[in-house]
């Protein structure tokens, strides 16, 4: 098996187990066993569990950057920003599920400053310059509820609740 195939299989199984059991509760031994490889083979590809998580986070950070490039264009309506945000959360549902109870794990990947910058930029898109504390609170509630609905409804087809989540988020913004 090619090195890249094994690496991709490790990433896929790790993300599945992290989402199912949480990052901290999943061991490299469990990942190796699920794959039918030795821990040494797993370590060949990823020196540590933190390195594995850091690589799993890369598609999210790339997607966040692409999303911001699209929506920071002049005149992007708030609803479009909310729709793009929901879709981003939903595309990365397994990663969010993996760290929802182990948020500190993200801190070890160095991604937290990127996440905070992304959130700050989205808040600015939705409130404009110099938002009041009330406007900031509405946006944070809108984004938090949007993330929860995109991530925390496993087993339910997204088309059943996407529009309702986006509508509720827009209402929280006052629109």
Class of CATH domain 3-173: mainly alpha
pLDDT at position 99, please?
79
Residues 70, 143: Cα–Cα separation, whole Å: 18
User: What's the pLDDT score for residue 30?
Assistant: 97
- Helix/strand number for the chain, H first, E second: 10, 0
- Which tokens is 122 given? 């989205």
Q: What is the pLDDT of residue 175?
A: 60
CA–CA distance, 62 with 6 (Å, rounded to integer): 22
Q: Where are the domains of the chain?
A: 3-173
What pLDDT is attached to residue 17? 94
pTM of the model: 0.87
Mean pLDDT in residue range 133-159: 92
The predicted structure's pLDDT at residue 7:
93
Entry field: residues in the chain: 175
Q: How confident is the model at residue 104 (pLDDT cuts 50, 70, 90)?
A: confident
Radius of gyration of the CA atoms of the chain, in A = 18
Is there a contact between 52 and 44 (Cβ–Cβ < 8 Å)?
A: no
Of the pLDDT bands very low, low, confident and very high (cuts 50, 70, 90), residue 42 is very high
Residue 14 has pLDDT above 90, yes or no: yes
H/E segment holding residue 81: helix 78-91
What was the pLDDT predicted at 92?
93
Does the pLDDT at position 98 exceed 90?
A: no
Percent of the chain clearing pLDDT 70 (strictly above):
97
Task: Indicate whether 100 pLDDT > 80.
Answer: no
Q: State the average pLDDT for the chain.
A: 90
pLDDT at 2: 60
pLDDT of residue 1 exceeding 60, the answer is no
Q: Quick one: average pLDDT of 135-150?
A: 93
Hey, is 109 helix, strand or coil?
Answer: coil
CA 167 – CA 133 distance, rounded (Å):
22
Per the listing, tokens 């609905």 go with 149
State mean pLDDT over 54-82. 91
| 104 C-beta neighbours (distance < 10 Å), count | 11
């Amino acid at each position: 098996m090619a090195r890249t195939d094994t690496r991709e299989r490790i990433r896929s199984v790790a993300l599945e187990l992290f989402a199912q059991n949480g990052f901290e509760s999943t061991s490299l031994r469990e990942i190796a066993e699920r794959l039918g490889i030795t821990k040494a083979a797993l370590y060949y590809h990823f020196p540590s569990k933190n390195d594995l998580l850091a690589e799993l986070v890369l598609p999210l950070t790339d997607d966040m950057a692409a999303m911001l490039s699209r929506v920071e264009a002049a005149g992007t309506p708030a609803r479009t920003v909310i729709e793009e945000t929901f879709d981003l959360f939903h595309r990365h549902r397994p990663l969010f599920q993996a760290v929802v109870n182990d948020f500190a794990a993200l801190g070890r990947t160095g991604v937290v400053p990127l996440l905070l910058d992304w959130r700050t930029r989205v808040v600015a898109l939705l409130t404009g310059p110099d938002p009041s504390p009330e406007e900031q609170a509405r946006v944070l509630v809108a984004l938090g509820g949007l993330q929860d609905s995109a991530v925390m409804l496993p087993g339910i087809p997204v088309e059943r609740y996407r529009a309702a989540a986006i509508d509720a988020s827009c209402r929280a913004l006052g629109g």
